Amino acid sequence: METVASTVIASFCCSKSRTGWVKPNIAAARSRTLVVVRAEAQAINPEIRKNEEKVVDSVAVAELSKPLTAYCRCWRSGTFPLCDGSHAKHNKATGDNVGPLLLKKQKE
Ligand code: FES
């Protein structure tokens, strides 16, 4: 990280040439700037029902267009707010136990 920060700072500083101080070339500096983003896998459920393998809740609703709809609660779904099963990968990577909220159409 220090190396990256040093590179960024150096890119924006003026430099001296034989003819005097040279203004920084911001566009060139930006093209040389390296940004490192590291996403760390982290549990999002530190305490709720940790004795369960996966926390899934369901609610019966009388008026629904589909018999079952799963809503994401892990924030990893590619189809958010709907669950796409990404919680399984998240749980495996972090040891977490999050799962979707299931809305089930209530039988009449
Ligand atoms: Fe997030 Fe299923 S993808 S709960």
pLDDT score recorded for residue 41: 79
Ligand 1 pocket (Cβ < 6 Å) reads 72-74, 76-77, 83-87, 98-100
Hey, is 27 helix, strand or coil?
helix
pLDDT score recorded for residue 18: 60
- Catalogue the active-site residues: 54
Q: Rounded to whole angstroms, how far apart are CA atoms 15 and 21?
A: 6
User: Is 67 a residue whose pLDDT tops 80?
Assistant: yes
68, 105 contact by CB (below 8 A):
yes
How far is ligand 1, taken at its centre, from the CA of residue 74, in Å?
Answer: 5
Token pair belonging to 3 = 């190396």
DSSP 68: E
Residues 85-108: tens digit of each pLDDT: 999 999 999 999 999 999 999 887
DSSP 9: H
Token pair belonging to 28 = 């060139």
Residues 4-56: tens digit of each pLDDT: 333 333 334 444 556 566 565 666 656 666 666 555 678 899 999 999 999 99
Tell me which residue has its CA closest to atom 2 in ligand 1.
Answer: 83
